[in-house]
Amino acid sequence: MTSLLTLASAAPQSALDPAGPYAGAIARLWWIFFITLSAIYVVVALFILTATFRRRASGESSDRRLTIAVSSAVGVTVTILFAFLFFSTSTGNALTSTNGKAPLKITVKAQQWWWSVQYEGADASRMITTANEIYLPVGRPAEVKLKSNDVIHSLWIPNLQGKRDLIPGHDSSFFIQADRAGKWEGQCAEFCGLQHAKMRLDVTAIPEAEFAKWVDAQLKPAVSPKSKDEQRGQQVFLSEGCPLCHAIGGTDAGGRSGPDLTHVASRRTLAAGAIPNTRGHLAGWILDPQGVKPGTNMPTNPLPPDDLNALLAYLRSLK
Ligand code: CUA
């Protein structure tokens, strides 16, 4: 039991290891329910054991004792239910309060099967678009608006907040906040099709100063290709079908149905956590996406080896 709890609390996806106030409020409520209900279970079990093994008394005094026992049990039950109601309501309130701090505004749009992430800026030129990753400044709340294009998904970042469904046509939102630096993982928590299990979302909390640097880096257009290979790779990217779905800031590629690739080389994974972001995996993903993630909207790209190598050099340079 202890080792199970330790395991659960050490994981990057654990509701028992809250990293901020919202997940903390949910964890507190969970522990209140767990401890109270465990205590009730033990008390009821003891009563059943006593009743089974004790000889039954009879007469007026036993009737009176029974009446007292039943009315106290009813009293305790009602008190516990009201206490639960109080704790549930106050937890609900805690989940929507930012304690007067101005939250970051992030829109997460669930796709089949990945997450598009957009940070609202002071104006349109300060808007950041990325995919399958969220960066947060430590101690600042973020309001995450949730949208879905096609099917119902459910976003769950257990260390930061409870689950929330993303239903097409019914936008919703929740708050997340991390009070310490760290990395956690979000996941789709509702069956949404073939690749439901491969909708990972990385969440990284960093100190405010580092976060400001991350924002500045994300706001920059993509680095221009330097080597011959990278230059040729950019041409391959722009002349094949890639720009129909993908955008790269600073180029003519402006597709929006696939992940923005302006800083793709800085991401930890590809295809929403399905594969690590390495040269080899990227090559496999470009050549045969259906082999990596069956059902993905990314088409097969049978590129000649030289074109593929050049394209890889270019994409790997997009830090
Ligand atoms: Cu998206 Cu399950």
Packing angle, helices 21-53 and 60-94, rounded to 10: 170
Q: Is the pLDDT of residue 254 over 70?
A: yes
Using a 6 Å cutoff on CB, does residue 166 contact ligand 1? no
Output the pLDDT for position 3: 55
Quick one: which atom of ligand 1 is closest to the CA of 113? 1
Q: Is the pLDDT of residue 4 over 60?
A: no
Mean pLDDT of 165-169: 95
Quick one: which atom of ligand 1 is closest to the CA of 151? 1
Is 264 within 8 Å of 130 (Cβ atoms)?
no
Using a 6 Å cutoff on CB, does residue 192 contact ligand 1? yes
Quick one: which atom of ligand 1 is closest to the CA of 196? 2
Spatial separation of the C-alpha atoms in residues 268 and 258, rounded to whole Å:
17
- Going from the Cα of 189 to the center of ligand 1, the distance in angstroms, rounded, reads 6
Percent of the chain with pLDDT over 90: 86
Residue 275's H or E segment, with its range, is: strand 275-276
